[in-house]
Amino acid sequence: MHQIHPDCQKILLTEDEIRARVSAVAKQVDADLAGKRPVAVGILKGSIIFYADFIRCLNMPLELDFMAVSSYGSGSTSSGKLKIRKDLDGDVNGRDVIVIEDIIDSGFTLACLKKLLLERGASSVTIVTLLDKHERRTEDIAPDYNCFEIPDEFVVGYGLDYNEKYRSLPYIGILKRSVYEK
């Protein structure tokens, strides 16, 4: 059992809980996309640990690719902007794409990404998220597969950060308020 980081007030999801659920969701995706040869697009950096665990539970043949994006603006599709900091290496035209994200919050990032990938000619875009903060959604988008619905708390670990810290914790923890309200 991993010791809880002193900046975390509690462990929300343990390593075992994450492993079991990630593998169950991957089995479902494997069955639903049987016969396809998708491109698995990881959205840097938060998704890296989930991405690595998730794709290793898939049996289908895959190509791997990555994007890094940042969102600016109000979170509404009309005034917000998505900046691409690192684009895909490959062409998604005519390809089935699985977008793998650590968290969906307002939904702005994934709504923009889905639109962009379809504009680039992707045959299909399947969204897989580790975490869904459903109560914060402002955009009309839902992941096709989500591992855990979570409350509106500041979560870190398993790829997620606060000021680039805590990404390598093997569990999802709730950060103490005193850490980010300083």
Residues that bind ligand PRP (CB under 6 A): 43-46, 70-71, 101-109, 161
Compute the least distance from the CB of residue 71 to ligand PRP, in Å.
5
Q: 105 is written with which tokens?
A: 């919050």
Compute the least distance from the CB of residue 45 to ligand PRP, in Å.
4
Q: List the one residue out of 46, 57, 144 whose CA is nearest residue 101.
A: 46
Q: Which residue is nearest to ligand PRP (CB)?
A: 46
- Smaller CB separation from ligand PRP, 60 or 99: 99
Contact status, residue 127 vs residue 101, Cβ threshold 8 Å: yes
Which residues touch 78 (CB under 8 Å, ≥6 apart)?
none
Which residues touch 137 (CB under 8 Å, ≥6 apart)?
104, 105, 106, 107
Contact status, residue 101 vs residue 78, Cβ threshold 8 Å: no
Of 105, 144, 152, 161, which residue is the catalytic one?
Answer: 105
Q: 90 is written with which tokens?
A: 């490959």
- Smaller CB separation from ligand PRP, 38 or 77: 77
CA distances from 172 to 2, 54, 106, 107, 153 (A): 11, 16, 20, 20, 11
Compute the least distance from the CB of residue 3 to ligand PRP, in Å.
24
- Smaller CB separation from ligand PRP, 60 or 156: 156
Compute the least distance from the CB of residue 75 to ligand PRP, in Å.
6
- Catalytic residue flag (residue 152): no
Name the residues annotated as catalytic.
105
